[in-house]
Amino acid sequence: MEKVREDIRDEIKKRIEQRDKYSIQLTIALSAIIALASSKPDYSGVLIVAPLVSIYFTVLIMYSYEVHSTAARYLREKIEPALASLCATLVDMEWETYYLEEDKKTPGIRHIFFLMMLPIISAISLVYLWLSDSVKLGWVVLLVTTLMYGVSIILIFIWQYHGLKKDFCIILKTFKKNHKNKGEGER
């Protein structure tokens, strides 16, 4: 049982490291696109791929958060209670349970940041292209890419909304359980 917990904690640590690498790669890719676009007026059209790069890395980062949350929930709900029972200790002493119950947090301090940067990066690059390069790229190309990126971003937000809603329900359930247990202890 201890080995299973160790394996899952290792997976969580790998996911955290993976997200750090993805965010670095995203920053480098967007910096390279901006540098190329600003190097010559003829290259400004390259900004059309900035939303695509942002979507790609944001989806990778969001999926990594999803796996991390699932692993943490598995530890909290299955492994940690079993270990606490075997060791005759309180489940509150286990890390994932403690982290959720004390701080009312689930994994993902930067989750919202990455999610919010996606439409911001897309909007800035597309608005710039619409205002400056619509003649070179063609309004049809800009319209199609704007619509494709817009639909993609909406789908990502819907996917993430359901995940965030699930995390909020877990926090609320834990809060209610703790509040009920504290109320029973005062009687």
Give residue-wise pLDDT tens across range 36-83.
999 988 888 899 999 999 999 999 999 999 898 889 888 888 888 888
* CA angle at 25 for the pair 168 and 32, rounded to the nearest 5°: 130
Residue with tokens 């359930």: 173
Amino acid at 88: A
The tens digit of pLDDT for each residue in 125-156 reads 989 888 886 667 888 888 999 999 999 998 88
The domain spans of the chain are 2-185
153: how many CB neighbours lie within 10 A of its CB?
19
Separation between Cα atoms, residue 117 and residue 178, nearest integer Å: 35
The widest CA-to-CA distance across the chain, in whole angstroms, is: 75
**The model's pTM:** 0.77
Length of the chain: 187
Q: What is the 3-state secondary structure (H, E, C) of 49-79?
A: HHHHHHHHHHHHHHHHHHHHHHHHHHHHHHH
pLDDT > 90: what percent of the chain? 36
